Amino acid sequence: MLGPSGSGKSTLLRAFAGLVPHFHGGRFSGRVEVAGLDTRRHGPARLAGTVATLFQDPEDQVVFTRVLNEVAFGLENVGTPPAEIEARALEALALVGAEHLAGRLVTELSGGELQRICLAATLALEPELLLLDEPTSQLDPEAAEGLVELALRLARDRGTAVLLCEQRPALPLEVSDRVLFLEGGRVSFDGPVDDARTWLEEHHPLFVSDGSDVGVHLHHLGEAVAKVDNVSFAYEDRLLVLDGASLELCRGEIVALVGPNGSGKTTLAKLAAGLLEPLSGRVARQGRATYLSQDPGRYVLRERADEEVAVGVSGDLRVAGRALAAVGLAGFEDRHPRDLSSGERERLALAAVLAPEPDLLVLDEPTRGVDPERKSELAALLRGNTARATLVVTHDRRFARAVADRLVSLAAERELMHA
Amino acid sequence: MRPAPAAALLFGLAAAALLARHTLSVAVLAVALLVVCLRAPVSRRWPYLVGALSSAAALFVLTPFVERLPGTVYWTGPTIPVVGTLDVTSTELSGALFNACRLAAVSLAFAAYALWLDHDRLVQAAGFARRSVLAVALATRLVPALERDASGLVEALRGRGVEPEGLRGKARLLSPLLAGSLERSLNLAEAMEARGFGRSGATRLPQPGWGTRERLALAGAVLAVVAGVLWL
């Protein structure tokens, strides 16, 4: 299931799980039937086991602190005989290659491992319909591909139907049998993948293009705005996250920082922006730096969107209004930040860090939850400004190629490779 | 040790601190519980210890000013309308110390519960009111989640070049923190409902039986309450 942000993908997915209307309320008409069960008469708890949902953020769906208990939770709820619960939970963990994590605390796991545990918890229920709601948005491309392929293979082995909702269209177009495209709350396309490609090329070309056509970037490289020189960094556990990393960012250039989960991308970005101090080495900056956090839920301090953006510009609402317009949120000034969709929140956060007109702009995963058309607009917006240096941390290789002048790859061994 | 008897023991110690009449007894209980908490990792224990000890210290400082008890007067302050003349007497100070130790002991018993108990097993061991026990276990996890959210909000502010300075600056984070925790709880509730929570006929992962340590802990809990009533 593809479609722009706010097109109703998550709502439709939740309707299949009975969460719409039973959990979320609202006005509901028509009928949703899953395995012969009418969702108007059977709520989500009753549908559990028949339907299983893997949500976007693994941290928001974990109930217990130990992995085995987490996987067993759903089995307990649907009344699995006690003698079978542990065996089925372990079997599900083995299916996702996480049997060795059974006794671990969920707080000790990486995002990718945690999402695998959540997948095991859904598979343990042996559902007839598996709903995947952007399950890879927190993962790097390799982990994302691995998770989706694993989910689909296991589901196919068991004859389970899978509805996968994704913002990154490349992977679904490779692995799915059929594509739904939603726009404005309506299904505008429903057909096989090959037909979908043709339809998308005609109606939404950015969903199938490589996204690189965003205009000409003026290569006027100026002086160095930030120099990260041979820095090392460790968090409280004292394990070195970065060891002797160096990076120079010049005015007018856009650098994409890529690499697998846990390779230290965010740490390097925070060091460049001045949010962290290195253990050793030196970081020098000229002018003002702003940093866009991975989590747009952190830009919700005020009750109006324009006031939130104005926080970084001493409350100047005119500057805030211009920043909102630049990210396509004109007319959203009086909206509460929490009332915005995830894609709109991402753009609000971007406006908040653009408003101060920084000399160094650091964006940490700015395309999470953003559809391809908005990504293209974002790339054009970033490339339209040559007065600053921009560092983009991203898992999204297509976006990196589209926006960046230079790609810096941070490998698991903490080595920087420039291209 | 299994979590149910450990929770009972901590509850017994907290009850003993509330029932005891001697400052020294309550202070010993508070110190013992502090030692237990100090054995937890630094990164996990500090929010609990700061909360428990700062509230106890605040109680000790404020109590003499709001109480009016006879005794040796150590300090006499200005006269404030409604409250009267501020003073600090020996009786007020000893009462404040007693209450502060009592609050510290109860808070530290909760901190030890949050830091050391396996909440999963506590929930699974709950023979009745399992939903309530699960709600308490999830609420216990709120403290570190709030701490993470608070540092995230501060980081996002600093990323815009704004330092949240002073009490007023930090107080402004309270409202978004509260709203964020409500949003998080809604997401969790949705995920739990989607996994069948609340459905009738739920079963439970089998749990191993109690050993000697568990029985001793339960006996210790009863003994602590009795000692609190009779001797402490």
Looking only at the bridges linking them, the beta strands covering A51-54 and A129-133 are: parallel
Task: Identify the domain containing residue A344 by its residue range.
Answer: 304-353
- pLDDT higher at B156 or B209: B156
A-chain CB neighbours of B171 within 8 Å are none
For A36: left if phi > 0, alpha if psi spans -120 to 50, otherwise beta; the answer is left
The tokens of A180 are what? 């739904």
Q: What is the pLDDT of residues A35-81, one digit of tens each?
A: 999 999 999 999 999 999 998 888 788 888 889 989 999 999 999 99
Mean pLDDT computed over A230-241: 80
Confidence bin at A214 (pLDDT 50/70/90): very low
Instruction: Enumerate the β-bridge partners of residue A182.
Output: A187
Q: To the nearest whole percent, how much of chain B has pLDDT over 90?
A: 22
For residues B231 and B89, the model is more confident at B89
ipTM: 0.80
For the segment A234-246, the average pLDDT, to the nearest whole number, is: 80
Residues of A numbered 357-386 whose beta carbons fall under 8 angstroms of chain B's beta carbons: which are they? Answer: 358, 362
In this structure, the answer to whether residues A277 and A160 fall within a common structural domain is: no
Among candidates B152, B198, B204 on the partner chain, residue whose Cβ is nearest the Cβ of A295: B152
Examine the pLDDT at B176 and tell me if it is beyond 70: yes
The residue that leads in pLDDT, B146 or A408, is A408
Residues A391 and A277 in one domain: yes
Could you tell me if residue A406 is inside a domain?
yes
- For residue A287, the chain B residue with the least C-alpha distance is B161
Cβ-defined contact of B161 to A290 (cutoff 8 Å): yes
A99 and A22 together in one domain? yes
Q: Is the pLDDT of residue A213 over 70?
A: no
Instruction: Compute the distance between CA of residue B5 and CA of residue B208 in angstroms, rounded to an integer.
Output: 14
| Same domain, yes or no: A346 and A407 | no
Please judge whether B176 and A301 are an interchain contact, meaning their C-beta atoms are less than 8 angstroms apart. Answer: yes
In this structure, the strands spanning A186-192 and A178-183 are antiparallel
Give SS3 for A215: coil
Q: Return the amino acid letter for A49.
A: G
Give the residue from chain B lying closest to A293, CA to CA. B156
Lowest mean pLDDT among A110-124, A175-189, A347-361, B113-127: B113-127
Structure tokens at B191: 């995920």
Confidence bin at B129 (pLDDT 50/70/90): low
Instruction: Tell me what pLDDT residue B64 has.
Output: 86
* Residue B71, phi-psi category: left (phi > 0), alpha (psi -120 to 50), beta (remainder): left
In a domain, A297, yes or no: no
* Facing B196 at nearest CB: one of A23, A69, A78: A78
Contacts with A121 from chain B: Cβ below 8 Å: 195
Cα A341 to chain centroid, rounded: 13
pLDDT of res. B199: 86
**Statement to judge: residues A333 and A241 lie in one domain:** no
In the predicted model, what is the mean pLDDT of residues B38-53? 83
Record: contact A77-B202, CB cut-off 8 A: yes
Residue A168 and residue A48 share a domain: yes
Interior angle at CA A207, CA A170 and CA A262, nearest 5:
45
Distance CA A65, CA B119 (A): 7
**Rounded to whole angstroms, what are the CA distances from A188 to A165, A196, A202, B65?**
15, 11, 13, 71
In a shared domain, residues A348 and A278? no
A72 CB near a chain B CB, below 8 Å?
yes
Residue A2 Cα to chain centre, angstroms: 15
Same structural domain, A237 and A101: no
Of residues A404 and A238, more confidence is placed in A404
Instruction: For the beta carbon of residue B132, count every other beta carbon within 10 angstroms.
Output: 11
Choose among A61, A293, A353: nearest Cβ to B191. A61
Of A24, A46, A299, the CB nearest to B156: A299
Instruction: Report the number of distinct structural domains present in chain A.
Output: 3
Compute the count of residue pairs across chains A and B with CB atoms less than 8 Å apart. Answer: 154
